[in-house]
Structure 1
Amino acid sequence: MLEYFKKRKYKKQEILQQVKEDKVKQKEKKQEIKALPKEERKEAISSNKLLRKKEKKQRKEEIKSLSRKESKAAKKEAKVYKKLKNRPRRFTGWAVFAALLLFIGVTVGPTVTTIVENMSGKHITIDTTSAEAVQAREAADIVSEKIANEGLVLLKNENNSLPLEDKKLNVFGSTAFTFKYGGGGSGASDLTRAVSLFEALTNAGIEYNKELYDYYVKLPEIKETTGNSDTGIVQVVKGFLSNDEEAGEPDLPDTTIAQAKEYSENAMIIVQSDAVEASDVNENQLKLSDEMHNLVEKVAGNFSNVTIVVNAGNTLELGFVEEYPSIQSVIWVGTPGPFGTNSLAKVLSGEINPSGRITDTYAYDVESSPASENFGDYQYENLDKAYLNYEEGIYIGYRFYETFYQGNEDGYNEIVQFPFGSGLSYTTFDWNIVNQELNSDSIELQVEVTNTGEVAGKDVVQVYYSAPYTPGGIEKSAINLVTFEKTKSLEPGESEVLTIQYDTRDMASYDMENENYILENGTYEIKLGKNVHEIDSTVNYELAEDILYQTDAVTRTEYQNRFTESENELTVLSRNDWQGTYPSDQDDSKIATDKVIERVQGHEYNNDVQMPTTGADNGLKLEDLKGLDYDDPLWSDFLDQLTVDQMISFVSEGAYHTKEIDELGVPNTVLMDGPAGFSFFGFKQFAAGAYPTEIVVASTWNKDLAYEMGEMIGQEAQAYGIGGWYAPALNIHRSPKGGRNFEYMSEDPVLNGMIGAGMSKGASDQGVIVFMKHFIMNEQETNARSGMLVWSNEQAMREIHLRPFEITVKEAGVNGAMSSFSFIDGKWANPALLNGMLRDEWGFEGVVSSDAVFGFMKAPQAITSGNDLMLDIMTVPNQIQLLEEAYEEHPEAITVGLRNSMHNSLYATLQTYLFN
């Protein structure tokens, strides 16, 4: 074994040397191309791309000709090469922030005091100790555990091995003492009330092997983490300081195994991964370490009934469970909040019948999806910016696997282990469509669900559609989730009729060429699925003629392509030519075009506007506008009263609060993180309701429960004095390696949107500003905080990345949003996104806050592009100065921008419970 690792290390060094040499050659080649005249340069870039594609194809053919063993080794080396070539830089973003604090402290002195005060949360005044607050927190805890109960997913249960017949259990592995209740960063929550795994087992009437427990707790490397909860910033710094070395796993003496075997044939092992905001994970962190694999092998070889518990917010490789027949069951718990251990224990005992469904495709190889080809650290050579190409287009997650392997069941089964939407129950259900109404306006099905088993349980009816596809035409996935419903708890023999309805236009595709949505004529297969791959029944809807949708259904705004200014050339994946269009980072020129450079660096001010009135005395207070429409004329009279200085101060100091303006009746408001319960990203800690992370909320597939969580968040906000909630997070799981996947919901935009809309409406109905985030395309942490340029095409943006936000705006009526760090179509705070799409096309009325401010995020560009508040902790004086300088040069444009931002912010504030 030692020789093997020596050889592996040597091979890795060999490959690393090759990477270095190839990078030097690549740089030399690019410098040669850069020196050519413009026309020759374009031709050279195109020829270079074709050459690399040819070389890649040739390498694939060479690998095919090798023996199976040689082929496997060659593929592994190719993966190592790619990993080393695009290895993310660990110390970016928040690590730079930590270094910046030190630099400021040494060089500036007093300025650091302001930053430290902001990070301390001194300006945040909330009361979490009142009787009302305690009551709200207790109610939140109840909902938290309900979500954990329904979010848990049973993925495998051979021979009905669960629930446990013998309520005695051996718990193996150090991971039992480091149970992961949540993630790190702004998505963290208060875990002071967390229930340890062993306490939960006892609560559920399951006896655990105390001798085995004692063996572990006496080991010096074992340290139980139950209830330990660092602040967001501390978690992030820890994430940066951690390395990628495999975590140690204590060896098990034969005597310990023998004692455990005598105790019970039941064994459980928890597998985990680490993820934290500001740092992505690599593929090795999504696989079993060698030491953990040894533990699984030893336990599986000695016990007849082994349960694997997946305690991770990222999709892990679980192929190992099929290596050992004794692994009878697999339970996914995700990162289930402080009471998730109770849920797990009750599922083991049978007190709870699992009803969750996974929200991602579990593939045997986490790098088998096309999005993984463009995930990592990519830098322009002629522009001080990172970039990311979304060349997979619409084919993210199951949309790729189900389309690429359509008609190839053997190939599919070799790649996909657990399809999107999978989940088992301790009972069985039958479905029967009792009524259907299908027309050009809406699709409605009434589905009778009957519990045909022996225990009570809930079921999820997932509704998908397959649209007619013309080769070479508009890209369409072979299958798409369109809606879903969950039953109540049904007793054995009991039935419930679910009414499932959605707008027919929800099956339309975006046509980039004609700038509209279209339902092309043909057969639309409407499918009721147990998961995306296991279809129970199909209803056909025949459409004789195309239906064009040229305007938004709500606002009647005419559709148009809004993200085509960059002229960035992408080869976007097409099902019409998988091989010719499959993504490859080898095709990247890494040379930003002149148009891209101009777009990134330039900002136009609209000086052709009339200077508004400022500082007027109209005798109006903010409360005088309560109940008025956003565009009521009285708003103009109120806004005329604001001075330029007041507005500059207000929009610049928008981190976790907004400033009061006493003379106009504008109150101070507190705005707080986070998606798993209220928290502050700085050093301030306080008691608050704590929930499972959003991936677990989504795995309930329960829209009503999502609403209930939002409702509890809103009631807690009222009790504490919080006016705004930085949540929910609606971004897509583009790759299993995303550092914030625990904080996001799924790989599917409709599931994200419907669960997100439920959470948002629940909180909004309680008078809280909901800041849906991160708008948009914030699916990678590497380079995010340096201002990364994200490139995609309009169809993928509309159908995948914008869709969850659109659903949330239209179904929940939110009046808050948080923009992302990303440069969309070459612009941070892109007006086509924040005004054109969000406000004009969707009809959003409210405030847009930035995410935490870094150097590339500037207030003058923000307030003249639709971003109203700067979530700035470190550089408020600088933002104020930038606005003052911009005002001197462009007084009309800046004043109008400030006025619009104040209008948006104050309109949102006026909708809160503060004015009830």
Structure 2
Amino acid sequence: MLEINMDDVIAVIQSVQSGLIVIAAFLLLAVVLTVAVNRKTVADQSVRKLTHSTSWIIAGVAAVISVTMMLTGPLNNMITMATAEKHEMSAATIAKTNKLAVDIEREGITLLQNNDDTLPLAAGNINVFGWASTNPIYGGTGSGALSDAYDTTSLLDGLHDAGYKTNDELTKFYTDYRTERGVIAVTSADWTLPEPAASTYTDTLINNAKDFSDTAMVVIGRVGGEGLDLPTDMNKDGVTYTDNSSDYQDFPEGTHYLELSQSEKDMIDLVTANFDKVVLVYNGANAFEFGFLKDYPQIKSVLWAPHPGQAGFEALGEVMTGEVNPSGRTADTFVTDLTKTPSWNNFDAFQYDNVQEFEVDSARGVRSPKFVNYVEGIYVGYRFYETAADEGLIDYDATVQYPFGYGLSYTTFEQKMGDVSYANGKVSFDVTVTNTGDKAGKDVVETYFNPPYTDGGIEKATANLVAYDKTKELKPGESQTITIEFDDDDMASYDAKDAKAYVLEQGDYRISINENSHDEIASATVTVPETITYNTDGNTHNGDKTVATNAFDDVEGDVTYLSRADHFANYAEATAAPTDLSMSDDVKATFYNNGNYDPTKFDNADDQMPTTGARNGVKLIDLRGKDYDDPEWDKLLDQLTFDEMDNLIANGGYQNAAIASIGKVRLSDVDGPAALKDNFTGVSSIGLPANIALACTWNKDLARQYGESIGDMAHEIQVSGWYAPSINTHRSAFGGRNFEYFSEDPVLTAGLASEQVLGAADRGVYAFTKHFALNEQETERNGQLCTWADEQSIREIYLRPFEEVVKADGDAQAMMGAFNYIGNTYASAHVGLNKTVLRDEWGFRGMLETDYFSGPNYGYQTADQAIRGYTDIMLATADTTNHVTDHSATSVIAMRRASHNILYTAVNSWRYADGQPDANMPAWQIAMIVVDAVLGVVLVGLEVLAVRRFLIRRKSATMVR
């Protein structure tokens, strides 16, 4: 989701262009008349003066009418949002939310290394090195940015509150060097990593530090945000940063953003040369390269502290002292060399070389279609590394530094797996977790399955997370029994080639509880006696309403996908960078953007025009709590006019619009994966830790509280819809929005995101789960980016979290589409995605919204195509191509369906919980009416005065004669 930026400005200017032209034309006419009607052309002074006065009064009337039409037309919704009443959060809610933020970070901080039991460390003096210690990362940028309206707990604050005294001389050294981090904005970035050159540390500074404490902490920070992925090549054109010294490059040729800069290396060299006990804190959201740790035995302990929000750093000091026992687990795999990941060569936007006919000229310049290939198929993250190791393709220990699901504790645990039962399609067993150490702590139960695999058959990974849970805090010697249960079809694979359906193949399935994706604790075997194909109405996969069958044959493209066959024999070929940069003629034939999309070509002559404008007397409030298919909905929808439906559909940016005739009030929908952020009024809520921190907790209870907290804050600031959670997949460590996405694993993501949505829904707030779908990179996300992937990976990896969220919440919901194309079709217009899968298979009831709508600037968004592609509402703040232009029966049917979905979601929100909400006229409209009335009186008065003077002059002239 975009914040207000230049696209908004351009869109607003475009939307009022005709009104401005009218005003300019009348002003020009007045000037022409004033100049033309002079002494040479009109001798009669009274006529000349009346003409002058009247021409300017007419220009004034035209200006008033035009401005009023602009205000009540294209600018109406934007001004209404900008002038809406501002609501403040209560002190109690602020305190409660901050406490939750600390609780999340307490369990999200992950202990990656703890040699010699260096941690916990008793409170006392500690030297904190690294410029990031004075300017840490609290959240992402763009829609993930936090409000500055609330107090923020800094990293050093967290240490001080835990009883540590930090070296003020070092802190001053860093703040004197620089106080601000480079700006990472939606369309541009300064990737500078401020870090004083090692040569600038004086001997006195280092000696004083050694006198201050024998322990050092080093802080490394990395930022990410909306609109830009992290640089995979710091010397690539377009990547901007400033070196910290003229003596060397911070990033020599071939280096990327997720490894140490030269200044950081030199600083660590300096610290480890002077201190034998060093704690490293990584403050970032993206999996970092930690291979350098083997060269520094002085670095005893490593903590990963993901984005903590505004209060979460309070937890860092608590974890350091041992007041809190770390229980975080990695939500991604940390590898030693990110350039050797399967997606490395295909994480980018590749320019087609033969698509001149689809170029669009926008305010951002000429733009043409690009593409990205999801070549790794289902082998994303740990699924690849575990399977590749089992197949002998990689040396696991040399490749993987920290597995998925990995994390250390200050205590030890024992997990005992009970007998596994398999009956009536359910796999279940108990796991008894016992704290065998001497400190209280929490443990995570991770359950994986390894399915039977036939060489060359359906692609399958050898490790697949299937269920997880987290214990309560267990005291030393205390035990807790956790029941694990899941459906056998959770182990099914999608066969896109033969069955064209989900298939649970017969054979032995190893069910294991693990320390992490790699290290098994115990296992048992479940035998599926015969193959089950989920391809009949009475036997659908995972409770699907209709049979899941191929819906993405058009998305696979001409791509070689990674296969496990013959021990990943095609690895080199499949994972190589693309060499064919041409769009095929078949793909071109059905590629549409604003330059060639004509809705009338897709009209169905057999469609019958629905009823509009009926007077049935039904109000929206009458439908609250009624089924989506209740006949009363048809009566309500019959009442809507074309213009009412169009206004509701077109003006969905940060709101959904009012319809006075049915008692539909304007509802506020706002940004923020970690907060609620009204971009127009400036009102924001407290910023919670980013979803990556929540993912590292592996705690569904905290996720539910997260959603409930969002709901509570929404009530206080009068918000109905939350543009979150963001649940795309960490396909690459360089994803710019990995901070707001959860994980590389769809099951971990699904469990936590579902709880967030349910928590918000419990408060009557509809969550716009986003970005639907295949929006795993920011690079050229709105540049007509064609995303190619195979159906199995689409369903098993990228759609799985969305599926679970939809099925977890049977109430009215919302979903936000993605900027990218799915294959060669804009995501918000892909019928297979938005109808076949989302609505027919999963049973989604609610509204589907586009991502930020800037049709002329992006070149491919149009409401006509979107509503026919089963999207309901345009996230637009100004009039562009967001209005429906086709008035055919086919179009009106789509508008009626879209209006149904929007209204169903709206009436079941908390704003309608206590009956019909008040719908007062916005204050600005009242002011406009008053001003218009006053100006009208003034203009009429002026014209009357001009005529009277004209008559007086005429009379005087007659008397003289």
Cα distance change of structure 1 residues 376 and 174 upon mapping to structure 2, 3 Å threshold: same
Give the structure 1 partner of residue 93 of structure 2: 136
1:281 paired residue number: 230
Q: Deviations over 1:268-293 (max 9, x none)?
A: 11111221100111131111110111
| 2:348 aligns with one of 372, 376, 389 | 376
In 1, Cα distance between the equivalents of 2:558 and 2:83?
A: 46
Q: Corresponding residue for 1:658?
A: 656
2:882 alignment counterpart: 879
SS of 2:116 mapped into structure 1: helix
1:181 lines up with 2:181 in the alignment: no
State, as a whole percentage, how many aligned pairs show the same letter: 38
Deviation, 1:252, is: 1.5
- Kindly report which structure 2 residues correspond to 1:849-864, keeping only aligned pairs within 5 A, or say none: 849-855=849-855, 856-864=860-868
Could you tell me the TM-score, scaled by structure 2's length?
A: 0.80
In the alignment, what sits opposite 2:701? 704
Alignment of 1:815-834 (within 5 A): 815-828=813-826, 829-834=829-834
Give the conservation status (yes or no) of the 8 Å contact 1:369–1:396.
Answer: no
In 1, the alpha carbon distance for the partners of 2:556 and 2:349 equals 22
CA distance in 2, matches of 1:722, 1:95: 22
Q: CA deviation at 1:406?
A: 1.3
Instruction: Give the corresponding residue for 2:297.
Output: 325
- Tell me which residue corresponds to 1:405: 389
> CA offsets, 1:729-752, max 9 Å, x none?
010000011111111000001111
Match of 1:223 in 2: 179
Q: TM-score, normalised by structure 1?
A: 0.84
249 and 805 in structure 1: CA distance in 2 versus 1, 3 angstrom threshold:
farther
Is the aligned partner of 1:97 residue 2:7? yes
Q: CA 1:357/1:607 → structure 2, altered by over 3 Å: closer, same or farther?
A: farther
CA distance in 2, matches of 1:816, 1:338: 27
Contact 1:355 1:459 in 2 (8 A): yes
Partner of 1:50: none
Structure 1 residue 125 corresponds to structure 2 residue 84? yes
1:63-82 pair list within 5 angstroms? none
Q: Are 1:200 and 1:342, in contact at CA under 8 Å, matched by a contact in 2?
A: yes
| From 372, 376, 387, the counterpart of 1:392 | 376
Residue 840 of structure 1 is matched in structure 2 by 840
CA contact (8 A) 1:124 1:656 kept: no
Rg bigger for which structure?
2
Query: 1:575 is matched with which residue?
Result: 564
Q: How does 1:407-426 map to 2 (within 5 A)?
A: 408=392, 411-426=395-410
Give the 3-state SS of the residue equivalent to 1:500 in structure 2.
strand
Superposition deviation, residue 166 in structure 1: 6.0
The answer on whether the counterparts of 1:522 and 1:543 sit within 8 Å (CA) in structure 2 is: yes
Q: 1:567 to 1:508 in 2, by over 3 A?
A: closer
Deviation at residue 474 of structure 1 after TM alignment: 0.3
CA distance in 2, matches of 1:846, 1:104: 31
Are the counterparts in 2 of residues 618 and 638 from structure 1 also a CA contact under 8 Å? yes
The CA distance in 2 between the partners of 1:407 and 1:569, in whole Å, is 26
Match of 1:240 among 162, 169, 188: 188
Q: How does 1:508-523 map to 2 (within 5 A)?
A: 508-512=492-496, 513-523=498-508
Tell me the distance in 1 between the aligned counterparts of 2:277 and 2:8: 48
What are the superposed Cα offsets for residues 638-675 of structure 1, whole Å, 9 maximum, x if unpaired?
A: 10000001111111000000111122111110001111
Judged with a 3 Å threshold, the aligned counterparts in structure 2 of structure 1 residues 392 and 271 are, in CA distance, closer, same or farther, namely same
For 1:129, the aligned partner's letter is E
| In 1: Cα distance, 2:406 partner to 2:144 partner | 26
Measure, in 1, the Cα distance between the counterparts of 2:197 and 2:306.
21
Q: Report how far residue 365 of structure 1 moved.
A: 0.9
Q: Does residue 1:485 correspond to 2:469, yes or no?
A: yes
Shift in Å at residue 437 of structure 1?
Answer: 1.8
Distance change >3 Å, CA 401–CA 108, structure 1 → 2: farther
Residue type of the partner of 1:575?
R
Matched, 1:172 2:161: no
1:173, distance to aligned residue in structure 2 (A): 1.6
Q: 1:552 to 1:525 in 2, by over 3 A?
A: closer
> Which runs of 5 or more residues in structure 1 are unaligned?
1-91
Question: Quick one: which amino acid aligns to residue 851 of structure 1?
Answer: D
1:297 to 269, 292, 300: 269
Q: Hey, what's the Cα distance between the residues in 1 that align with 2:3 and 2:690?
A: 23
Aligned residue type for 1:271: I
Once the two structures are TM-superposed, the CA of residue 457 in structure 1 deviates from its matched residue by: 0.4
Cα displacement (A) at 1:517:
1.1
Residues 557-576 of structure 1 aligned to structure 2 (within 5 Å):
557-565=546-554, 568-576=557-565
What is the identity, as a one-letter code, of the residue corresponding to 1:859?
Answer: A
State the Cα distance separating 1:100 from its structure 2 match. 4.4
The equivalent residue for 1:205 is 163
Choose 157-166 or 184-193, whichever is displaced more: 184-193
Q: Does 1:537 align with 2:527?
A: no
Q: How far 1:769 moved relative to its partner?
A: 1.1
Name the amino acid aligned to 1:835: K
Deviations 1:442-483 (A, max 9, x none): 111111101111111000011100000000000001110111
Distance 1:333 1:246 in 2: 19
- Show the 5 A alignment for 1:458-857: 458-512=442-496, 513-550=498-535, 551-565=540-554, 568-577=557-566, 578-582=568-572, 583-601=574-592, 604-680=602-678, 682=679, 684-813=681-810, 815-828=813-826, 829-855=829-855, 856-857=860-861
The alpha-carbon deviation at position 832 of structure 1 amounts to: 1.1
Q: 1:715 to 1:385 in 2, by over 3 A?
A: same
Provide closer, same or farther for how the CA distance between residues 908 and 116 of structure 1 changes in structure 2, counting only shifts above 3 A.
closer
- Write out per-residue CA displacement over residues 381-410 of structure 1, whole angstroms, 9 at most, x where no aligned residue: 122301111111001111111111116598
Greater mean deviation of Cα atoms: 255-264 or 486-495: 255-264
Aligned residues: 805
Local SS of the residue matching 2:564: coil
Is the alpha carbon distance of 1:719 and 1:792 closer, same or farther for their aligned partners in structure 2, counting shifts above 3 Å?
Answer: same
Q: In structure 1, how many angstroms separate the alpha carbons of the residues matched to 2:614 and 2:431?
A: 61
1:364 is matched with 336
The corresponding residue for 2:252 is none
In the TM superposition, residue 609 of structure 1 has moved relative to its aligned partner by 1.6
The whole-number CA distance in structure 2 between the counterparts of 1:754 and 1:148 is: 18
Q: Which runs of 5+ in 2 are unaligned?
A: 22-66, 233-255, 356-367, 914-961
DSSP 3-state at the match of 2:351: coil
Contact kept? 1:459, 1:486, Cα under 8 Å: yes
> Which of 149, 153, 160 matches 2:110?
153
Is contact 1:439-1:504 (8 Å) kept? no
Q: Does 1:261 align with 2:210?
A: yes
Q: Flag the 1:104–1:627 CA change in 2: closer, same or farther, 3 A.
A: closer
User: Structure 2: how far apart are the matches of 1:892 and 1:165?
Assistant: 73
Shift in alpha-carbon separation, 1:96–1:216, aligned structure 2, 3 A: closer
Q: Is the 8 A contact 2:310 2:686 kept in 1?
A: no
TM-superposed deviation, 1:244: 6.2
User: Which secondary structure state, in structure 2, belongs to the residue aligned with residue 631 of structure 1?
Assistant: coil
In structure 1, C-alpha distance between the alignment counterparts of 2:19 and 2:635, rounded to whole Å: 43
Deviation per CA, 1:173-208: give whole Å up to 9, x if none.
Answer: 211111100000112222532112222212101121
Asked whether the 8 Å contact 1:839–1:845 carries over to 2, the reply is: yes
Instruction: For residue 760 of structure 2, give the secondary structure of its aligned residue in structure 1.
Output: helix
Deviation at 1:366, TM superposition (A): 1.4
* Paired residues of 1:307 and 1:330 also in contact (CA < 8 A): yes
- The one-letter code matched in structure 1 to 2:87 is T
Distance 1:872 1:235, change over 3 A: farther
2:821 partner letter = F
Partner in structure 1 of residue 925 of structure 2: none
SS at match of 2:882: helix
Matched residues in 2 for 1:102 and 1:645: separation?
20
* Root mean square deviation, CA, Å: 2.5
Query: Are residues 832 and 254 of structure 1, via their aligned partners in 2, closer, same or farther at CA, if it must alter by over 3 Å?
Result: same
Does the CA-based 8 Å contact 2:134-2:171 persist in structure 1?
no
- Measure, in 2, the Cα distance between the counterparts of 1:116 and 1:747: 41
